[in-house]
Amino acid sequence: MSLDDPKHVEKQNCSKKKTATSHLKRKTYSSDSAESEKESAGSWDSDSSNSLNWRPPKKKKTPEKQKKNNVNESSSKAQTNKDIEIYLQSDSCSKLAKYCKFSKCRECIKSPETNQYSCRFFSFRKMRCIKTSLNLYSSGFAEPTDADESDRKLWLPNLDSTTSASTDYLDFHVARFILNLVGDQFCCLIRQEEEAIHLNMGEDFIAWKKPMQGVREMCDVCKTTLFNFHWVCDRCGFVVCIDCYKVRKSGVKKAWMEKGPDHDEWKWLFCNNRQLHDQEQLMLCQTIADKCLQQLRNLVHEARHLCEIPQTCKCDYKLNSMDNVYSTINMDRVKQLIKLDPLNAIITHLEGEPGKINDSKEHEERILKEAAKQTLPEDIYLTSSFREEDSSSDSDDEGSKPSGLLDLLVPGKDSNNGNESKVTCPKYTSEQTAAASCPGSGGLTELSPTSQQKSAPHKNSPSKQVKVSRNSMMDIVILISSKQDEPKNAVEAKPMQHFVRRNHSSLPSNPNLLPPRKMTKLESGELYPNVPHSWLCEGSLLRLIDPSHSGNYRLFQDQWRRGQPVIVGNMTKLLNTKLWDPDSFCRDFGEERNDLINCATGHLVPNRPMKEFWEGFGNFSKRLKDEHGNPMLLKLKDWPPGEDFAELLPTRFNDLMQALPLAEYTRRTGRLNLASCLPDFFVRPDLGPKMYNAYGSSLFPTKGTTNLHLDISDAVNFMVYVGIPSDADYEEHVQAAYNAIDEAGCDDLTRRRVRLEGEMPGALWHIYHASDADKIRDLLNKVAIEKGTRLEPHHDPIHDQSWYLDAVLRMRLEKEYGVTGYAIVQCLGDAVFIPAGAPHQVRNLHNCVKVAEDFVSPENVTHCFSLTQEFRELSDTHTNHEDKLQIKNIIYHTIKSAVSSLLREVRSPQ
């Protein structure tokens, strides 16, 4: 087990020994029960369908040994039962040193003062105590079946309708929405766990390592947070995760792996007495108690089936494990809840009116009619058998009759028999059906015909009858929008030659991800009436104008699920701006010391009084000078530390939290911030807030404040202050900022905004889609080779954060790869939402104070999951090499909370 530094251990546990031991009760086992366990034969658990619950058979004693043991059996058995006690190790090896007759863990060998938080065998190793002496002996390790009810409670959903767990605050609609987006990632996680059984090279014994509250356990090799299965050395406590174990078994060594003073060439730490660790000698161990993982897996599949949530996980699973739960389900209530809002149930809840549909039937039909006026894509052939409505029914249609698509979008009643209207459609392939489907819509019309049918005239196309429900209407609108947004002169995709993605373990695709779209204000005004907004970047960047408007969620989510960034403006009206002025920071923290970075050179300026930075914020004459006597272009590095923000700046923290836009996503307790589902038992991931304070660089066209990089989680970046030094040439700086905006490729509306609408530009962003990251890597590697630079193995041009895409590189990216990003100007009061995995870079045009808050949204959890795998490939020199997000734990407990909320709400009263 690898432990965090002390700041990753909750203070309440460090201060009082009893806090840590309160949940780790001493377990005793009689010698009879211990002997019976040893003699039990291997078997499959009765309620299991896979190998995760296999219990290996124990070796039987040979007749010779049995005969020898029988000699004194009758005389010693009574004494053994009376004098031997078996229990879990109740303190650190160091504290028990004078009594123990077993090996100490690696932490206790390093320090005789090691406490139970750091000891690797605490509450893990079984101890055998002989009462006639004070000596303690090792008696193996805890097993999954040793877990009691309190241990299982941490891992199982709370299905008791009379109680409510602190994290189970989701209602039916929110839980269903989350389960739809995250369910497949959970199933992928299960498959990774099953793989560990087949990878295991040691004995078929599985131990159970009880988790400790406030301690984040990590792999000793790659520093990734351990979720469940891992391998442990029973002598020193060295731990290795599934991925590192798999890499060594495959024999594929990473280039940055070198033998060191404390580890071998695989980066595996030496055992006690400098011994090498052999894979066959390591013990397979799980963290989740008993069979809770399998039980939750069963409940997830049952809940998704019950709530009509599409399942694309391809799990080999039979829906037969929830008979006892089904007997308590009120099916009428389930159907009623699903029917309440089939299009987007989550929105009505977030807008404060659960159970009520926001859009009236008339408004919905008006939206769909507006979409019907758009040109129908050529590869969609639809004929309608609907009756034609009178042209006078729609005054905006200029007297023309509704088109066939309009009839499809707004189904009526068949004039002959009064049944549901039907649509005549061509036949389709299953792949095309899946590609056109929108999860959660409940039976979409298939839209893309096969290539053989495309060439056939429309009227002769073979057809079939399919029902079109109202659930599918918006999906057709979405498809039309995405078809229209396809670039007409797209660059032909070519295989990348300078970047090859390493083959990670199987990761799920995101079936909920829709293609990017562009909108006009006329179109979006019909779809989202009364929501103040505008469109930048030629209709691809949404800007929400009123940060407090309840209707923001629907418009935001429709963009966010497409992986597109969003801006929320006018945030300063929600803040106390005096708290964020540079003078206030200089007054409150000027005497503290911190590292600075010269953005012009990338060099570190260590341990400087922050007064020097803040005074130079407003005055050129007070800035630090470089060796040539020129003022430095500085930024304040990593201040304050993420964990200390609320403690160091409590007033500013509270001011920021109440102002955060789309709070259900961005606040720590937001229902759509999946990190909020992680129980208090675990160490909270460091999601901020974080401050980014830097001088403006409008006079340095090729220098960025933050080079191109990407983050493992979603983030919102809030501009709280923009300023120009008082002793600078104001007009020169303003004009330089305008020139930078023009050169950056910003659209006309953006340039008009900063020039004519009085908005104060602060920073220039370039954000790219997560799907374009590999193309960007290929270009940067190509440019590096052209410059004669040697490409280092296991380094990454984006993760290295060593590139800023200037105008030349951005032009090559568009010309050679067809990749264009979002050129965004962040003005004072703007909050920029950046999706997880989206490469982005920032250049401060003027002096800026920005605050960022990270979050984990259901829409982008797939990126978080895959990026965790990607980061572990990086060398130890990368700052983001260590996994602090704990995405597997977040996914597990999010699913647990969603299942709890779903099943509790639909159970019949007892």
Q: Quick check: 542 pLDDT over 60?
A: yes
> Are residues 278 and 203 part of one domain?
yes
Per-residue model confidence (pLDDT) at position 133 = 67
Per-residue model confidence (pLDDT) at position 168 = 52
- Enter the tokens of residue 778: 């290929």
Average pLDDT over residues 792-806: 87
Q: What is the DSSP letter of 115?
A: -
696: left (phi over 0), alpha (psi -120 to 50) or beta: beta
Our separate counts of H helices and E strands in the chain read: 31, 25
Nearest Cα to Cα of residue 403 among 505, 480, 344: 480
Average pLDDT over residues 335-352: 62
> Are residues 191 and 134 part of one domain?
no
Q: Quick check: 497 pLDDT over 50?
A: yes
> Cα(154)–Cα(27) distance, rounded to whole angstroms?
18
Q: Which range in 374-383, 470-479, 804-813 is most confidently predicted, on average pLDDT? A: 804-813
Q: Quick check: 567 pLDDT over 80?
A: yes
> Are residues 233 and 114 part of one domain?
no
Is residue 240 assigned to a domain?
yes
Is residue 232 assigned to a domain?
yes
Q: 281-330: per-residue pLDDT in tens?
A: 999 999 999 999 999 999 999 889 888 888 888 787 766 555 556 667 88
- Enter the tokens of residue 563: 């992986």
More confident residue, 309 or 541: 541
Per-residue model confidence (pLDDT) at position 83 = 67
> Are residues 109 and 233 part of one domain?
no
Helix ranges (H only) for 40-101 are 63-69, 73-83
E-strand ranges in 759-813 read 761-767
Q: What is the DSSP letter of 504?
A: P
> Are residues 162 and 99 part of one domain?
no
Residue 292: Cβ-neighbour burial (10 angstroms; 0-12, 13-18, 19+)? buried
Could you give the angle at which helices 172-199 and 242-250 cross, rounded to 10 degrees?
Answer: 30
More confident residue, 591 or 59: 591
Q: Quick check: 439 pLDDT over 80?
A: no
Burial 714-738 (b: 16+ CB within 10 A, else e): bbbbbbbbbbbbeebeeeebbebbb
Nearest Cα to Cα of residue 215 among 95, 120, 339: 120
Cβ distance 674 to 894 under 8 Å? yes
Is residue 158 assigned to a domain?
yes
Residue 217: Cβ-neighbour burial (10 angstroms; 0-12, 13-18, 19+)? buried
Cβ distance 453 to 424 under 8 Å? no
Q: Sorting pLDDT into bands at 50, 70 and 90, what band is 44?
A: very low
> Cα(301)–Cα(310) distance, rounded to whole angstroms?
10
Q: Quick check: 461 pLDDT over 50?
A: no
- What amino acid is encoded at 854 in this protein? D
Handedness of CA 743, 749, 754, 759 (dihedral sign): negative
How do 822-827 and 603-609 pair as beta strands?
unpaired
Cβ distance 357 to 340 under 8 Å? yes
Least confident of 332-346, 549-563, 851-865: 332-346
Give the 3-state secondary structure of residue 295: helix
Q: Quick check: 426 pLDDT over 50?
A: no
Average pLDDT over residues 21-50: 38
Is residue 166 assigned to a domain?
yes
> Are residues 287 and 244 part of one domain?
yes
- Enter the tokens of residue 882: 């260590």
Give me the chain's average pLDDT, please: 75
Given 118, 141, 164, the domain boundary residue is 141
DSSP string, 693-704: EE---TT-TT--
- Enter the tokens of residue 793: 């193995």
Per-residue model confidence (pLDDT) at position 127 = 86
- Enter the tokens of residue 703: 């220098």
- The sheet carrying 28-29 orders its strands as 28-29, 84-88, 125-130, 136-141
> Are residues 170 and 136 part of one domain?
no
> Cα(812)–Cα(817) distance, rounded to whole angstroms?
8
Nearest Cα to Cα of residue 887 among 867, 872, 907: 867
E-strand ranges in 182-265 read 206-208, 230-232, 239-240
Least confident of 453-457, 707-711, 790-794, 883-887: 453-457
Q: Sorting pLDDT into bands at 50, 70 and 90, what band is 718?
A: very high
**Which residues, at least 6 apart from 218, have a Cβ–Cβ distance to it below 8 Å?**
1, 2, 3, 4, 224, 225, 226, 882, 883
More confident residue, 532 or 419: 532
Is residue 131 assigned to a domain?
yes
Q: Quick check: 848 pLDDT over 50?
A: yes
Is residue 500 assigned to a domain?
no
More confident residue, 483 or 866: 866
Is residue 226 assigned to a domain?
yes
Is residue 506 assigned to a domain?
no
Q: Sorting pLDDT into bands at 50, 70 and 90, what band is 908?
A: low
Could you tell me how many residues make up the chain?
Answer: 910
Q: 772-791: per-residue pLDDT in tens?
A: 999 999 999 999 999 988 88
Instruction: Find the domain containing 104 and state its range.
Output: 84-141
Q: Sorting pLDDT into bands at 50, 70 and 90, what band is 363?
A: very low
Q: 246-294: per-residue pLDDT in tens?
A: 999 988 877 566 788 888 988 899 998 888 999 999 999 999 999 999 9
Q: 727-743: per-residue pLDDT in tens?
A: 888 898 899 999 999 99
> Are residues 237 and 282 part of one domain?
yes
As a whole number of Å, the end-to-end CA separation of the chain is 45
> Cα(207)–Cα(229) distance, rounded to whole angstroms?
10
Cβ distance 93 to 108 under 8 Å? yes
Q: Quick check: 465 pLDDT over 60?
A: no
Q: Quick check: 471 pLDDT over 90?
A: no
Per-residue model confidence (pLDDT) at position 274 = 87
Burial 515-546 (b: 16+ CB within 10 A, else e): bbbbbeeebbebbbeebebbbbbebbbbbbeb
> Cα(795)–Cα(18) distance, rounded to whole angstroms?
45
**Which residues, at least 6 apart from 748, have a Cβ–Cβ distance to it below 8 Å?**
none
Report the DSSP beta bridge partners of residue 544: 533, 568
Q: How many CB atoms lie within 10 A of CB 420?
A: 12
Report the DSSP beta bridge partners of residue 239: 232
Q: 600-611: per-residue pLDDT in tens?
A: 888 899 999 999
> Are residues 110 and 187 part of one domain?
no
Q: Quick check: 749 pLDDT over 90?
A: yes
Percent of the chain with pLDDT over 90: 41
Q: Quick check: 134 pLDDT over 80?
A: no
Q: Quick check: 573 pLDDT over 80?
A: yes
- Enter the tokens of residue 810: 């951005």
> Are residues 163 and 115 part of one domain?
no
> Are residues 233 and 126 part of one domain?
no
> Cα(80)–Cα(85) distance, rounded to whole angstroms?
9
Total domains in the chain come to 2
Q: 208-258: per-residue pLDDT in tens?
A: 999 999 888 999 998 888 999 999 999 999 999 999 999 999 888 775 667
Report the DSSP beta bridge partners of residue 831: 568, 718
Half-sphere CA count of 103, side-chain side, radius 13 A: 14
> Are residues 250 and 120 part of one domain?
no
Is the preceding omega at residue 689 within 30 degrees of 0, hence cis?
A: yes
> Cα(616)–Cα(631) distance, rounded to whole angstroms?
9
